[in-house]
Structure 1
Amino acid sequence: MTTTMEFPMTPTSATQPAVGARVPGRFRREVGYLLSGLPLGTAAFVLLVTGFSLGVSTLVIALGVPVLGGTLAMARYFARVESAQIEYVTGRALPPLPERTPRGGWAMLADAQGWRDLLHAVVMFPVRVTTFSLSVSWMAGAAGGLTYGLWSWSLPRDENDGLADLAFGWSGRGPDIAFMMVLGAFFLATCVPVIRGLVAAQTGLGRVLLRDGGRL
């Protein structure tokens, strides 16, 4: 009579995805978050600042109360969108908000979370412009630098031969292409950590503005 010993099966590379396999998907989510931030932030900033200005200027005729109330409701909507994006890109949900009791009249303006959401839209607008610009510039620098030799012929040439000539006095197309490719390789090598840092900064600030910092 023979006995067989069964050993627990360990996950292999065929059944367990490598950590590196998750990087492209995460990177795509992070890039999508940064790129979508500019149109979303622009819409939120324009609508909410316009609504706030109109509401404040018409408070004397009582029309400003519903205008400001609607502006705060709109601010809460944009905040919910941002909260969903933060959870999607980081995998960490924001602390839940207490249920909001419907109110009318002047009581609408006592919505502390709505004012916080309005502040978030205003403060985050320049942040989103900055993160959008840096992320696009970094990715364009990587793609443009590495493919510079394919399209550099179309650039007009004057008294200098490109950035290599301007920076180091290296004239000629060869040094110019080599310099740009090295620059593109630098942007490519640092693209993931730079994008990740921009996402961390934007989502971190968003968490502080959308929720009480002490509750994070």
Structure 2
Amino acid sequence: MTQPNLHPQPSATWAADATARSNGKGRFGREVGYLLSGLPLGTAAFVLLVTGFALGAGTLILLFGVFVLGGTLSVARFFARVEAAQIAHATGRALPPPADGPRRGGWGLLADAQGWRDLVHAIVAFPVRVATFALTLVWLCAGLGGTTYGLWSWSIPRDEYDGWIDLAFGWSGTGADILGNTTAGLFFLLTSVPVIHGLALTQSGLGRVLLRGGRL
């Protein structure tokens, strides 16, 4: 009886290592792009879908609203496909396919469970996207601006206080101002990778839960 080969072939091991390296390479840049693009896409989705839902619900008694709501769910599905593609690109892990396909015709449009999940995601994810966009921008700007503060601090108008370090600790003088801002910039710069990664996991995790019910 032939014993099964419990040890992976060198080629298979190399392929798995190469896949892991490709997923890790450039991950920070992909996550930054995912977080910064989330706000304009989320704003467009939120405005279009909330408007469509309100118009469709308000005209549902006239039957015209059935088609408006159906079109709104189709738009929600489009934005959900964009989000799924972004999650796969940023995290290296694709979302599973939707559990059901879109319904067609009349009231069947309103029975599209996946479309309703996509609509809920666009609405619930909007404030999360606003927060992750703002925090990403703060960490990047504070990190880059703080570490290079000594090069451009001369252009800042001065008053009776020498920046936040003077207000917080009473340390006056240009040297203390530059030291304080450079130290703060280094903090943001050194913590940017785990913070950005955590924000990307939060935003993509919300998509996995709402778009696919948490299915891996």
TM-score tier (shorter)? 0.7 to 0.9
Superposed displacement of residue 101, structure 1: 5.4
1:158 aligns with 2:162: no
Task: State the partner residue of 1:60.
Answer: 61
Q: Distance in 2 between matches of 1:123 and 1:22?
A: 28
Task: State the partner residue of 2:170.
Answer: 169
1:27-75 per-position Cα deviation (integer Å, ceiling 9, x unaligned): 1101000011011100000000010011011112111010000000000
Task: State the partner residue of 1:88.
Answer: 89
1:30 aligns with 2:28: no
Task: State the partner residue of 1:186.
Answer: 187
- Residue 135 and residue 78 in structure 1: after superposition, are their counterparts in 2 closer, same or farther (change >3 A)? same
Q: Distance in 2 between matches of 1:196 and 1:108?
A: 37
Task: State the partner residue of 2:145.
Answer: 144
Task: State the partner residue of 2:5.
Answer: none
Q: Which amino acid aligns with 1:87?
A: A
- Residue 67 and residue 20 in structure 1: after superposition, are their counterparts in 2 closer, same or farther (change >3 A)? closer
Query: Counterparts in 2 of 1:188-207, with a 5 A limit?
Result: 188-207=189-208
Q: Distance in 1 between matches of 2:200 and 2:186?
A: 22
1:41 aligns with 2:42: yes
1:70 aligns with 2:71: yes
- Residue 22 and residue 83 in structure 1: after superposition, are their counterparts in 2 closer, same or farther (change >3 A)? closer
1:144-169 per-position Cα deviation (integer Å, ceiling 9, x unaligned): 10111111112121121101101100
Q: SS of the residue aligned with 1:38?
A: helix
Task: State the partner residue of 1:105.
Answer: 106
Superposed displacement of residue 94, structure 1: 1.2
Superposed displacement of residue 85, structure 1: 0.8
Q: Distance in 2 between matches of 1:184 and 1:20?
A: 29
Superposed displacement of residue 122, structure 1: 0.2
Q: Distance in 1 between matches of 2:191 and 2:213?
A: 33
Q: Distance in 2 between matches of 1:101 and 1:171?
A: 65
Task: State the partner residue of 1:211.
Answer: 212
Q: How many residues align?
A: 200
Superposed displacement of residue 201, structure 1: 0.7
* 8 A contact 2:101–2:114 mirrored in 1: no
Q: SS of the residue aligned with 1:156?
A: coil
Q: Which amino acid aligns with 1:60?
A: I
Q: Which amino acid aligns with 1:55?
A: G
Q: Distance in 2 between matches of 1:23 and 1:185?
A: 23
Q: Which amino acid aligns with 1:128?
A: R
CA RMSD of aligned residues (A): 2.0
Question: What is the percentage of aligned positions where both structures have the same residue?
Answer: 66
Structure 2 gaps of 5+ residues are 1-9, 11-16
Query: Counterparts in 2 of 1:114-125, with a 5 A limit?
Result: 114-125=115-126
Q: Distance in 2 between matches of 1:99 and 1:58?
A: 27
1:125-157 per-position Cα deviation (integer Å, ceiling 9, x unaligned): 000000000001000001110111111112121
TM-score (norm 1): 0.87
* 8 A contact 2:139–2:188 mirrored in 1: yes
Q: Which runs of 4+ in 1 moved over 4 A?
A: 19-24
